[in-house]
Structures are given as structure tokens and as C-alpha cells.
Amino acid sequence: MKTILISKLTILLLFFTPLNPVFAAGGGSSSVSKYFSLHPPMVVNVSDKGKVRHLQIGIQLRLDDPNDTDSVQEHKPAIQHELVMLLSGHEAKDVRSNTGKEKLRKDATTVIQKLLTENIGKPTINAVYFTTFVIQ
């Protein structure tokens, strides 16, 4: 009895799924995202009173135009390099506070905008967001 009910429900689900606009639009994504993830999270060394600490940081870039995703992807290694140089040049005490994190976020935005302007002729991004931020 249960298998017949499950079979009927499965058939009904398969029959009506194409009518659902979420599924008909290709998984619910009707537009391209304005966010670009620098995945996986970056890990860099930071100094802390003579000790080496590790900063793990997840980063999302907010694009001016979602159609620029391919351009950003093409320059992802250069973006990651610039971020490694920026992040590893800081001491842990400088980035622990919210003020320090916000300054670092603005500096990262400026560095990436400069790099993209030099390579594709426009800044392409308007913000950098830290989605994870762990110092160990």
C-alpha cells in the first residue's frame, strides 16, 4: 500500500514540476548573481607580538554588473595574489577590531578595483565583503 502511494506521489510530482516557475526557470535562478565568491577561503600568516598566527578569511566581491563574472574569474589568481600580499602585511592586532576589519575591507576593495581597471579597463567591483574571519 505504501509503495503504491509513494509511486503515485512521485508520478504526480514529476507531472506537475514543469509547471512550477522555480523549476521551469532552471533551478530558481532567473538572474545572474551580483556576488562573486573567492572560494576557497584564503589563509595567510599574520604577525602577533612576534608569533605567527593564521588568518582564514572568506571573501565575496560585489560586482557592478553581474555579466562581468567571467572577467573577474579570469583574473581570480591575480586578485588572490594581491589579497595575500595585502592581508599578510598586517598584524593581528590591527585587524581584530571592527574598525580594523572595515579598513582592511576598504583597502581590499581599492586594491582589487585598481587591478581590474589595469587589466580590463574598469573597476568592475564596488565592494568586498568578509563572510568569515578567523584568527588562530
Evaluate whether 59 touches 42 at the Cβ level (below 8 Å).
yes
Record the cell numbers describing residue 53, joined without a space: 598566527
Write out the residue range of the structural domain in which residue 115 sits.
Answer: 31-135
Q: Strand ranges (DSSP E) for 14-116?
A: 35-48, 51-63
**What's the CA angle centered on 36, arms 75 and 23, to 5 degrees?**
130
Residues 10, 71, single domain; the answer is no
H or E element at residue 83: helix 76-88
Residues 14, 42, single domain; the answer is no
Residues 84, 66, single domain; the answer is yes
How far is Cα 53 from Cα 43, in angstroms, rounded to an integer? 10
Full pLDDT tens readout for the chain, 136 residues = 554 544 454 444 444 444 443 334 444 444 678 999 999 999 999 999 889 999 999 999 999 999 999 999 999 999 999 999 999 989 999 999 999 999 999 999 999 999 999 999 999 999 999 999 999 9
Residues 35, 87, single domain; the answer is yes
Residues 49, 108, single domain; the answer is yes
Domain count, the chain: 2
Its pTM stands at 0.75
